[in-house]
Amino acid sequence: MESLESIASKYNVDKLELGYLRHYEERFEPIRNEVTKVLEIGVETGCSHRMWLEYFPNATIYGIDIFVYGVDEFNELQEGNPNLDRSITFKGDQSNTDDLGNFISQYGSDFDIIIDDGGHTMKQQQTSMRELFSKVKSGGFYVVEDLHTCSGEWNELYGYKVIEEGDTLTTDLLDSFQDFTSEVTETSYLSKEDIKNIESSIKSCITEIGVSSYTNPKGYTYRWPTMLSFMEMK
């Protein structure tokens, strides 16, 4: 079967440039044929959506997005994809409890994998965890990408506030899960009970580091670390 990196190259998936794929393949290759239900938050034009459809041959791939680039553009890019019978997309906001509730009402739970590659704000990441974490089956994975955005400089780069005043950084929350010390007991979006329930269902929480780079028109290359976290369910 074709490697994840090879599939990602075909569809110009940014996870390749961000240095994430080896971490994904390390965990997902052994269960590749057993995975039947995957949700990715953050679809945009569908590059990684196509990648997951091809990588997991027996899985339905679900996607949640606000589709700022337009549903029509997404559908156009998916045209001719032989795996479309296993593709389901849902227009919704990952920080909106009603939207997430409506998604679950329609499509249920028992996901093998949920990947948060959405807007990367603390509110979005932590609201999605609150509403969706329990929808991952035992032995499955909940993944949060682009945790390097837990740095204030990304407020300017993204053009919107990734971190609001009073927010607890998602990296700090996940750090408390990695050593199970529960140093973070409550956030603006997660109650003490929410955090306790999430922590009690985690078998392991590991944050991985990648490296991304960009070369500007003048030939200067900029590099910065990238981060994603894998939480495996008990």
Catalytic residues, which ones?
120
Sign of the four-CA dihedral 94, 98, 63, 79: negative
Residues with Cβ within 8 Å of residue 177, at least 6 apart in sequence: 198, 199, 202, 205, 231
Distance of alpha carbon 233 from alpha carbon 141, whole angstroms: 6
Instruction: Give the single-character DSSP code of 90.
Output: E
Q: What angle do CA 94, 149, 192 make, to 5 degrees?
A: 60
Alpha-carbon torsion, ordered 125, 128, 130, 131, to 10 deg: 180
